[in-house]
Amino acid sequence: MQTGIDSPCRGDYLTRITLGQEFYVPTPDPQKLTELENRIAKMKATTAPQPVKEEHYTMVNMAWRMVIELVAGIAIGFGIGYGLDRLFGTLPVFLILFIGLGFVAGVRTMMRTAQEVQEMHMARAADDKEG
């Protein structure tokens, strides 16, 4: 007896495929298809994503982003500096150097974020003048 995915115990449909017989697939009714399409369109319309309202705390989010970027830069610099100092046995040299570099990298990232905020405000002001 045959076993596996095409075995007769899987049902009539697979048995016919295994034996090489033809099978009949009914043609879909066009009226039922249009009804189904209308129902799907109606459901999509009711669950369509609403326009996103502007957040009230956008500036607070940007401020936190800037703080986190600065702290992350300093923390990464601390980690690299401490690791190199432990590796070479020169405890304060690389630590101080990489904390400074991490601070500079954090400030540069903060400045890029501030520039993004400024461009966003300029675009919003231009839209307000046009509209």
Torsion angle of alpha carbons 32, 37, 40, 41, nearest 10°? -140
- Angle (CA) 20-21-22 rounded to 5° is 125
Q: How many CB atoms lie within 10 A of CB 26?
A: 5
Average pLDDT, the chain: 81
- Pick from 4-8, 22-26, 104-108, 112-116 the range whose average pLDDT is largest: 104-108
Q: Note the pLDDT of residue 77.
A: 97
| C-alpha 67: how far from chain center | 22
> Does this model's pTM top 0.85?
no
Q: Note the pLDDT of residue 114.
A: 92
> 86-89 — which CB contacts under 8 Å span 24+ positions?
none
Residue type, 101: L
Q: Per-residue pLDDT averaged across 67-85, rounded?
A: 96
Residue type, 70: L
| Alpha carbon distance 105, 120 (integer Å) | 23
Give the list of residues 6+ apart from residue 22 with CB closer than 8 angstroms, or none.
Answer: 16
